[in-house]
Structure 1
Amino acid sequence: MNSLLELGNWPIWVMGWPAITLSIVCAAAGLVLRSNRFMVAGAVIAMPFCWYLAMNPGIWRFIAPVIAFLYFIGAFALSRGQRGFALILLLPFVMVAAWLATQLGRH
């Protein structure tokens, strides 16, 4: 019986779509509530996914760390009251996740 709740499936929860979704939800909550703590939580949750992307060959090796860095800078911008700038800095992560979803949906 193979279930997502089994102990051996922890990478799916840490680096997969549940973590990506939770990260985006935390960031959205941070932006709406103007709380950088939620945004930092979202950035921390996104780190394993970005790390996984950085281990892939090609351009992802360079893009993924930048995306993670921008996410944390967005949390800092939110702490300074710059909600629009924080949203702009979150967009690369959301765009990569959306692009990846479309690529997986095609196969």
Structure 2
Amino acid sequence: MKQNKLIFSELWKQKAAPFCDALRSNPLQLTCRQGQMAVAVCNLQKYMNNIPAEYQYFDGIPGIPFQDFPYYGGSVEIADYCPFNQEFSWHLSGECSSNCKIAENQPG
């Protein structure tokens, strides 16, 4: 687990895709996943309780005080709370599609 934490920390510092640091907000901050195949949103969120210490990766989150870092992580537990740009989909003309190559899907 420590190795995963070190790897994630290094990727985080490099702003490596698909990892992200944009807190989920309203309105959603949309982006396109690598390869432009899907619209995505960063799944970084605040939890009511501290997430497990082995999954606390952050040494900085824009706009978040240091003492609150233990409450933040990605919304997918099976991904070890790593925040990443998570694809979502909707229906376009009766078809399910969030492909960023479709003009109507381009994030504004």
Tell me the TM-score normalised to structure 1 length.
0.29
Larger radius of gyration: 2
Tell me the TM-score normalised to structure 2 length.
0.29
Whichever structure has more helix as a proportion of its residues is 1
Q: Which has the higher contact order (CA 8 A, sep 6+)?
A: 2
Whichever structure has more strand as a proportion of its residues is 2
